[in-house]
Amino acid sequence: MPLTVGTAGHIDHGKTALVEALTGKNTDRLPEEHARGISIDLGYAPLELPDGTSLSVVDVPGHERFVRTMVAGASGIDLFLLVIDAGEGARPQTHEHLAILRLLGIEHGVVALTKADLVDSETLELARLEAEELVPGAPVVATSARTGAGLDELRSTLAQVAAQVTRHDADGPARLHVDRSFTLRGIGTVATGTLWSGSIGEGDELRVEPRGRSVRVRSVQVHDRPVERAEAGQRVAVSLPGVERQELRRGDVLVAPGTLRPSFRLDVTLEPLGEIPPRITLHHGTSETVARVARAGDRYAQLRLARPVVAARGDHVVLRAGTTVAGAVVLDPAPPRHAGLARFEALERGETFVHAPARVDGEWLWSAEWLDELRAELERGIDDADPLDPGVPVPAAEWSKAVVPHLGLELRGAKLYRPGASAELGARKEAAAALAEALGVEPVRVADTQLARFLEEQGRLVRVGDGFAISREAYERGRAVLVDGITLAQFRDALGVGRKTAQLYLERFDADGVTRRVGDTRVLRRRR
């Protein structure tokens, strides 16, 4: 079973050195990391254990300023390797990282006391007691990256702990939170991350969220080795041809199409560490975004996000405001805007909540799935609609006013259109051309009233009578011969048409407010 182990611990306590001693790989890649002697970004290395278990190691930075990076690295790991300098003991980020691991629901792990070569046995024993108290239930192993002492014991202890981990959701939808992307010559953009659920294989179609872009997987690697399919829990590199590097960043998510959707709101149960301010930074997967916390009682909150996340029920998130202030577990990854305690309680009991719109406390609520279904239905209607007027009537329902703004469609008058949609002739191009040919001074019958209205809006004809049309030029010519007090007979002679035709023109002039009928004559109305 593929598992990922993540380091944790205070700056300089020897995380990277220990990972290198275990794996042979120095995970500090950046020149600045070597220059400053600290880790800044996440590092990755494979670790083969004596019993055949293969682990992926994520090495995180300990610096206080990079806790956000630590959270991105720690989300998605299965077990921790908490590193404590035997001479220094637990320090602020030892505690903060440990709190974050707990909030993320990562229960299993090992504590490594490092730099054992630098302390006497009494100090080491003290450090061991402190560690056992700090992380009850986790085995503590004294090590030295310098001498290699304790490394074999650490390996076998990691294997024992790994055996206890029950892995998540191999059958769920493919979901990979991207922690790195880079470009390889001849291959294109590669995204890496831990596969939270499902599997990803060559040729799979995925969506990059929250950007909403479809991509096709060209190839998949696990620790630099090509595989046919990568499974949940593995660290995966997927190459995505046709994607620019800047279109894919840490925080983005690759998901199976039609499964998880981006959401600007999360309903959560809170695990506060202290006071939670109303504005926090939300860490979910490898993403972080500013969010407002709308509390509902002591236990629940709706998080309203500045940028959307792709979450699922049961996901663990971390709330920070300068320091880590709380954790939270997602109850509803795409709730409507609300703060009703009853809804939270029902969600936690596992009740499926409103689907179709229902009025709760004076507010309309509905599920994201229901909204998607409605949108899909309306879009089908739009696809079937006359291309000359590619819209559908606004649903006639009580909830209409509340729901319509959430559809992402454009409201024009009483109809909904795709944003920016314009009328098109479609299959009627030929009919329109034939009509243009036939139009003149004498009215011609136009059976297709939609077409007539469309061409009139475009200024290509003028409708007269019931189902007839004349050319725009003819209309203008008729208008030009109008004089104040003109009779039907005079107009007929001036235009050189029959009585019936003259009648149709004058009626249209009346309708357009050009003329007004007074007895047997037309008076010209002043232009508005």
Ligand X SMILES: Nc1nc2c(ncn2[C@@H]2O[C@H](COP(=O)(O)OP(=O)(O)OP(=O)(O)O)[C@@H](O)[C@H]2O)c(=O)[nH]1
Q: Which residues bind ligand X (CB under 6 A)?
A: 9, 11-17, 37-39, 61-63, 114-115, 117-118, 144-146
Q: Which residue is nearest to Mg ion (CB)?
A: 39
Cα atoms in the Cβ-side hemisphere of radius 13 Å centred on 281: 15
**Which H, E and C letters describe 74-98, residue by residue?**
HCCCCEEEEEEECCCCCCHHHHHHH
Q: Which of the listed partners (ligand X, Mg ion, none) does 17 bind, with a CB threshold of 5 to 8 Å by partner kind?
A: ligand X
- Closest distance to Mg ion from the beta carbon of 96 (Å): 16
Cα distance between residue 352 and residue 374, in whole Å: 19
Identify which of residues 20 and 204 has a Cβ nearer to Mg ion in the complex. 20
Cα distance between residue 310 and residue 333, in whole Å: 8
Residue 137 backbone zone (phi > 0: left; psi -120 to 50: alpha; other: beta):
left
Q: Which of the listed partners (ligand X, Mg ion, none) does 12 bind, with a CB threshold of 5 to 8 Å by partner kind?
A: ligand X
What length does the chain have?
A: 528
Q: Which residue is nearest to ligand X (CB)?
A: 62
- Closest distance to ligand X from the beta carbon of 113 (Å): 10
Residue type, 144: S
- Closest distance to ligand X from the beta carbon of 30 (Å): 11
Applying CB under 5 A, among 4, 16, 144, 192 the residue interacting with Mg ion is 16
Query: Please, what is the end-to-end C-alpha distance for the chain in angstroms?
Result: 80
- Answer yes or no: are the C-beta atoms of 305 and 262 closer than 8 Å: no
Give me the phi and psi of 4, to 5 degrees please. Answer: -120, 130
Q: Which of the listed partners (ligand X, Mg ion, none) does 146 bind, with a CB threshold of 5 to 8 Å by partner kind?
A: ligand X
Q: Is 39 in the site for Mg ion (CB under 5 A)?
A: yes
Identify which of residues 39 and 181 has a Cβ nearer to Mg ion in the complex. 39
- Retrieve residue 148's tokens: 């290699």
- Closest distance to ligand X from the beta carbon of 39 (Å): 3
Q: Is 10 in the site for Mg ion (CB under 5 A)?
A: no
Q: Is 15 in the site for Mg ion (CB under 5 A)?
A: yes
Helix, strand, coil share of the chain (percent; to 5): 30, 30, 40
Residue whose entry in the numeric block shows the structure tokens 């999360």: 266
Q: Is 501 in the site for Mg ion (CB under 5 A)?
A: no
- Closest distance to ligand X from the beta carbon of 137 (Å): 23
Residue whose entry in the numeric block shows the structure tokens 């739009």: 382
Identify which of residues 10 and 316 has a Cβ nearer to ligand X in the complex. 10
Identify which of residues 16 and 93 has a Cβ nearer to Mg ion in the complex. 16
Identify which of residues 39 and 199 has a Cβ nearer to ligand X in the complex. 39
Give residues in contact with Mg ion (CB under 5 A).
Answer: 15-16, 39
